[in-house]
Structure 1
């Protein structure tokens, strides 16, 4: 499944953290400077330079600038310091902190009538709102910034806002509008000869065309911009280029290249302290691992992303991590866990919708309170015009009642929409549960039928061997046919157990071994009244890949005992043992017969039966011990097996 979440272009605030034209003073030089406005500016320059590679360091320098500017009462440089702190907080995914500092800057620029800088801050606030998935509110800030900037002949600044609007249209799915604004932004930066931002726009367009399925143009734009940022920086744009390449390679199914690109991007974002961007890499690395078939690694990465996204409160990434974990558990056949994660995913999606509804209600409430305050001020200021006051009061009351009625109507509509969304969600869950249950039942019937048919086919082969043995006069050949028939019967018994029991993936070993033993004793005409058979078995259910080789090994060992241990004897004893001890299965068959030849070595034996035992033991990673005391005891300590 193609995943675009987190791969849409993002704008880094070049207008806020532009590259300094001259190298700033070193940290040691700044620390010894006198505490004046020059030192404040030096701290700001250091923060600006650090913004290319280390957001935490940029934040620390911005804090130093703000502290000193506040002590000096320098409002202008306080605003500049707030800007550095807000930008570093944005890149570091501290979104509420970023909003607080941007709000302080906006208040200053509005008080001083600096409309152009106010417009730039409005643009940046919109970026933070967009990162919080508040896309409509972000658009309001972007277009307010655009209206102000259009009053000034600043092509470069206009281009920044064109780009942010284009990105947001792309996120909302309006790709025609998105491309129009992206091209406007690119033309603006080229007209202003802003080479760094031309390359940022090429990178954004590369991501945009990737989302449109135009892989050729996307790869061309992304690689061109990556080559520029590898030489000129900043590191954050190089990280984004690798991120977009990872997504493009993921779309094309080139998983090794996709993994390499996402890992490089994560390294850069981690060094920058860009937690939210790094989480996007982790989620995509989990998707790559899933497609590569490495489900444990995919689950590990998705789990880490879930914990971190919950810690920083990015609900969209929480929802994606939950959805990915649901798909991974489903791939493992753990449908219950998959459904739990899917339900958690829908709960987070609902919470995102609820947050948007709550914000709408809060805005209406704020407007209502504003109206109340205006009415109270009007009453206090019009004490000398009682008649006019009464008339205005009636009008205000009517307006307030209408507003309140509208508020109630909006709240009712929101609650009704929320109820409908919840109902649709519940209906969808019920429908999916029914589909999953029907699919499980259908697969269970199909699996039983498969095991039944395999068992019947094996029985048919056994019958053919039985018929063949009647026409073979050579005793040695008859013996070979009988042993082959017994081996086939041991395998058929496994499939019979699977389709006769409720557990289609596991074999109850106690009943299986008892049935196998009875069958072999009957085949070799062993009198149970003369041969004491002792069975020591634990209650163990094994999957078919473990039960089948164990059954074949038992068939060979019991067959060997029946052929050689009781020939020409009135009495004898046979022990069959299967026990689990310390994460190992102990399988043992022993008899009290004449024993093995003195020079017998199982690992050197060329008999087919012992060769088969050795081969199956290697598959189960089992150690074989052979004792002859007299009698024969052959034991296997099995380490590779799977219980169900």
Structure 2
């Protein structure tokens, strides 16, 4: 999930970055006279061929001995928009790979301005996609989303543009979701991208997209989809004749999990050449591939120098998109080596980097708004100047006080409407910003809870005492109930409330899945009325429910039978909310251990809700726990 397409004419991903098998850069002669002759020959072509020809010409010089000088010569010779746009879009990724982020961004924005003046919507789409790719590679999500949405608008506005370009829009949206950590949404957008070109067997980006999907489903362990897309990818490459092997990675070693020494040696060679050429996409994917091979062969310590080198190189070049994957792989390597301190430190480093990226996004968003505001001010100044001229002309020709008054009040009313419109727009923008910030808060709270859960897990791995391990496990369950709340708030449009049906069912399922049953699992059923409660109400209820279910799983059934069952009910009765948990187990003891932490916790939380928590024998057999809540905030 690391390769970003820029212009639509380009070979995507790996093919635009690698010259690995022959290990040489094309020795293209750089001469102003030769370049001028080549550009002049392009200008003699029919107009519909100029774009493709100029693209191919600029591509040929990226692998020359001195690409920067070649770009400067090409930029100084021609001012034809289609030639300059393709030149800029081809060289922009080169500057980014060299670590010159400012130069890369400048070329892409210049190309966008030229394409809008030139009036070719396909070129404009290419420029917007290139800007999206740039911001994805430096992990600025707000700006990437802005330009990707504009690119999609171009496709919606101009129906004569090829529909397969939706593949680029959806693929880049999957990259944005990857940066945000929304892996479910990432998979959905990859599937949408595939649907855009699935019926085009010879599509130029088919192999690249299939590579991404195989890699994605391998990481998320979706065996069914992995099998399907691996078969598609294998069939695609069997039909290909690779006349230019320097444009492709060895698919059998990168995709098929080959951990033999021969495959590792080939990957080491690819990594070495990629590093020397600053081909960061290839360096990233091959580092992940070789690390997987070392883990599979039981040699995790051999992956350390490759991962540390790649993280260092990507960070130095401000090439942030792949950094999260490398850090996650490094954490897996440390855990495989039983180096919990290293795993803990890399977890903190990853958290700090993600927080830094979020802060960078906010700063980028502020900068974008500043530019938009200044542009708006200039446009308003021009409008005011034009209005004043119209007013003076009307005053000279009207010659009457009545007409002057009518024009004056008309002008004032128009200005008032503009002010109201600006105020409305500002309020809407402010509300959107607050919603984004609120979602970010929930995301950070969720991440913080997940770090706590990870620390508890790491601690439990070093504890031999069974009671201590059980206590830490119960603490993890309590943390998970709160993680689930903030995860739902982050993923939903409703930012201040939680749907009871979704939350209670998900929480119950998580607790049952995390519990280790000695024989068969206990059956359970739910009857929950859907309603939306605020976070102040749902959090203590979730913690109480966690304790009640845990008690049932631990104590209600000494021996699980086919008839063993737990029932969860939640409804509103009058002015109260009633939560009932019933089992048909062995029943409550005559005396409840009031000193246990779980009982104390439930009573304390019940007081916060002004609730009455009771335990009584179930009608037939077992125990009925009932929580009647009188203090709550029902949103809908």
Give the shorter-chain TM-score range. 0.5 to 0.7
Could you say if the C-alpha distance between residues 281 and 346 of structure 1 is closer, same or farther in structure 2, counting changes exceeding 3 Å?
Answer: same
**What corresponds to 1:276 in structure 2?**
281
Residue correspondence of structure 1 range 20-59 to structure 2 within 5 A: 27=28, 33=34, 38=39, 47-49=58-60, 54=63
Residues 514-566 of structure 1: per-residue CA shift (max 9 Å, x gap) = xxxxxxxxxxxxxxxxxxxxxxxxxxxxxxxxxxxxxxxxxxxxxxxxxxxxx
- Indicate the structure whose relative CO is greater, using CA pairs within 8 Å and at least 6 residues apart: 2
2:352 alignment counterpart: 347
In 2, distance between residues paired with 1:62 and 1:84? Answer: 10
- Larger mean CA deviation between 102-111 and 407-416 belongs to 407-416
Instruction: Kindly indicate whether the alpha-carbon contact (under 8 Å) linking 1:306 and 1:322 is maintained by their aligned counterparts in 2.
Output: yes
Question: 1:167 aligned to 2:189?
Answer: no
Give the alignment's TM-score, normalised by structure 1: 0.53
Q: In structure 2, what is the equivalent of residue 421 of structure 1?
A: 443
Residue 414 (structure 2) aligned to one of 386, 392, 408: 392
Q: Cα distance, 1:303 vs. partner?
A: 1.2
Q: 2:77 aligns with which of 48, 68, 77?
A: 68
2:196 to 176, 184, 187: 184
Give the Cα separation in 1 of the matches to 2:265 and 2:102.
33
* Counterpart-to-counterpart distance in 2, 1:65 and 1:104: 15
| Structure 1 residue 111: Cα displacement | 1.6
State the Cα distance separating 1:341 from its structure 2 match. 1.8
Q: Which residue of 2 aligns with 1:101?
A: 107
Q: 5 Å matches for 1:225-264?
A: 225-226=236-237, 231-233=242-244, 235-236=246-247, 238-239=248-249, 242=251, 245-250=252-257, 254=259, 256=261, 259=264, 262-263=267-268
Change (3 A) 1:189 1:162: farther
Separation in structure 1 between the aligned mates of residue 35 and residue 384 of structure 2, nearest angstrom: 55
8 Å contact kept, 2:58–2:90: yes
For the Cα contact (< 8 Å) 1:202–1:222, is it kept in 2? Answer: yes
Distance of 2:332 and 2:261 partners within structure 1: 21
- Cα distance change, pair 61–118 in 1 and its aligned pair in 2 (3 A): same
- After the TM superposition, which residues 76-475 of structure 1 pair with which residues of structure 2 at under 5 Å, given as runs? 77-86=83-92, 88-89=94-95, 96-133=102-139, 134=141, 136-137=145-146, 139-147=148-156, 150-152=159-161, 155=162, 158-159=163-164, 161-168=165-172, 170-171=174-175, 172=177, 173=185, 175=187, 178-188=190-200, 190=202, 212-213=222-223, 214-226=225-237, 231-233=242-244, 235-236=246-247, 238-239=248-249, 242=251, 245-250=252-257, 254=259, 256=261, 259=264, 262-263=267-268, 265-266=270-271, 269-270=274-275, 273-383=278-388, 384=391, 385-442=407-464
CA shift in 2, pair 1:146/1:57, >3 Å: farther
Unpaired segments ≥5 residues, structure 1? 20-24, 447-644
1:36, CA displacement in angstroms?
Answer: 5.8
Q: CA deviation at 1:362?
A: 4.2
CA 1:415–1:26: 2 relative to 1, 3 Å = closer
Distance 1:366 1:231 in 2: 47
TM-superposed deviation, 1:342: 0.9
Question: Aligned partners of 1:148 and 1:264: how far apart in 2?
Answer: 47
2:331/2:347 contact within 8 Å kept: yes
Q: Following TM superposition, by how much is the alpha carbon of 1:345 offset from its aligned partner in structure 2, in angstroms?
A: 0.8
Residues 78 and 377 (structure 1 numbering): CA distance in 2 closer, same or farther, change over 3 Å? closer
Q: Map Cα deviations across residues 608-643 of structure 1 (whole Å, 9 max, x no partner).
A: xxxxxxxxxxxxxxxxxxxxxxxxxxxxxxxxxxxx
Are 2:121 and 2:154, in contact at CA under 8 Å, matched by a contact in 1? no
Deviation string, structure 1 residues 377-430 (Cα, Å, up to 9, x no partner)? 444443435433332333333333344444444444444444443333333333
**Runs of 5+ consecutive residues of structure 2 not aligned to the other structure:** 16-25, 43-52, 178-184, 392-406, 469-636
Distance of 1:300 and 1:165 partners within structure 2: 36
Q: 1:164 to 1:234 in 2, by over 3 A?
A: farther
| Deviations 1:72-97, CA, capped at 9 Å, x for gaps | x5555434432432354467676653
Distance 1:143 1:249, change over 3 A: same
Q: Quote the offset at 1:332 in angstroms.
A: 4.0
| Distance (Å, rounded) in 1 between the aligned partners of 2:276 and 2:158 | 34
CA spacing shift, 1:445–1:405, aligned 2, 3 Å: closer
Contact 1:368/1:404 (8 A) holds in 2: no
Supply the RMSD in Å over aligned alpha carbons. Answer: 4.4
- Is this contact kept in 1: 2:55–2:87, CA < 8 A? yes
Q: Is contact 1:266–1:281 with CA below 8 Å preserved after alignment? A: yes
The number of equivalent residue pairs is 416
Distance 1:203 1:324 in 2: 19
Deviation at 1:270, TM superposition (A): 4.8
Aligned to 2:9: 15
Kindly indicate whether the alpha-carbon contact (under 8 Å) linking 2:7 and 2:90 is maintained by their aligned counterparts in 1: no
